[in-house]
Amino acid sequence: MIEKLQELIAIPSISEKGDDHAPYGAETEKALEYVLNLCRDFGFRTKNCENQAGYAEIGSGDEMIGILCHLDVVPAGNGWTYPPFAGEIHDGRLYGRGAVDDKGPAIACIFAMKELLDMGIPLKKRIRIIFGQSEETGDWTDMEYYKQHEELPSYGFTPDADFPVIYGEKGILQITLSMEQQKSGFLSVSGGNAPNVVADQASCTVLGAEGEKLQFQANGKAAHGSTPEEGENAISNLMDLLLKEMEERHFKCPFAEFYMDKIGYALHGERINCELSDEASGKITFNAGMIRIKESSVELSVDIRYPVTCKEEEIILRIKQQAEPYGVKVSVCESMAPVYLDKNTPVIRALMEVYHEETGDDTPAMTMGGGTYARAMEGIVAFGPLFPGRECTEHQKDEYILLEDLEKAKEIYKKALWRLVEL
């Protein structure tokens, strides 16, 4: 299992615009073919769905249990101690982009299915592991293609979050805040790699009071955009630095002024009149993940995770009311409604029982700000692989999974699949 995960991590499957043969790029195609070949070697029935997605299946019967995984990863970023696409093992940790999000869990589920198959026990339901290719981009065209052309599972899980079970996920709203470059104060500006990742580097060039070019740079710490408190935003650090330098050097940067007035270091929309929360899912989160100059505008990409009881339209209206007086336009890039399931459904109860039996841990089911394939199909919930108390390293440098946790997750998934077959 470890060797296969290392081989999969060695494929830098960052989803990108490809062609008709490989719609998400050559590397994602390689990753998909790798897992399908592995599953065929194990005796699974497989299908490549035009390189949009793919699946592998065991068992028989009319009803089908789904496992939704994704093989694409976010860019590696900077500052790794170990190579991001090598899968090196140090002190019981397997390092690499995708180790925990989501290649490690995918491999664990494949081996869980193999062990069920090897037991020779008749499976009265089919178990199908579905491999997506564009989860990290946020557009999920892979799942849309699958849903249009293939059979949907009756229920199942996605191993792309935390244990024990995630029964609710906040709404996801990705917006662009833009200002005309000639009015922004920037000659150039760049920071971050993706809206849903806390930026770890940012830099810019501005025009000084005497017409000279001034260059500034700031660093931060990457983290998942749904948990910005776990990182340090380099874009915020850069804008704060600019504001201080403006006072001393007497140049202008209106975009930095807007940023620090309405976003700054606030993580929950406090400055932009969006400090919303609910009992079920907690506070709204804001992550300014990426800044670029595109055509003739400075564009800031912001990833927002909002409570399950809130309305997207209200959030957009509030932001526009705060941004437009600064000459900042607001546009919506991606949008996903929140999901919220009854904790007492048979599937959730079964998964919780297996988790408690295997771990002895009584952590209750919970909600989260992250977005998983649980949103893609009805009856799917997020289930692992991160155990309570473990460091979350997805989307960060030195992403890793503990070898003991990988093995433990495999055992939980094996028992969980058997339990779901028996429902």
Examine the pLDDT at 343 and tell me if it is beyond 90. Answer: no
pLDDT 10s digits, 268-298: 999 999 999 998 889 999 999 999 999 899 9
Answer yes or no: do 142 and 108 share one domain: yes
Answer yes or no: do 102 and 215 share one domain: no
Examine the pLDDT at 389 and tell me if it is beyond 90. Answer: yes
Arithmetic mean of pLDDT, 399-405: 98
Which of 304, 336, 368 lies at the terminal end of a domain, its last residue? 336
Q: In whole angstroms, what is the distance from residue 417 CA to residue 110 CA?
A: 11
Supply the range of the domain harboring residue 22.
2-169+339-421
Answer yes or no: do 198 and 279 share one domain: yes
As a whole number, the mean pLDDT across the chain is 95
Q: Which of 18-22, 149-153, 156-160, 185-189 has the lowest mean pLDDT?
A: 18-22
Answer yes or no: do 290 and 368 share one domain: no
Q: Looking at the annotation, which residues are catalytic?
A: 72, 135
Number of independent structural domains in the chain: 2
Arithmetic mean of pLDDT, 121-139: 93
DSSP 80-129: -SS-TTT--EETTEEESTTTTTTHHHHHHHHHHHHHHHHTT---SSEEEE
The percent helix, strand, coil of the chain (3-state, each to 5) is: 30, 30, 40
Cis bond upstream, residue 385 (ω within 30): yes
Q: In whole angstroms, what is the distance from residue 193 CA to residue 195 CA?
A: 7
**CATH number where 349 lies:** 3.40.630.10
**CATH number where 201 lies:** 3.30.70.360
The total number of residues written for the chain in this structure? 423
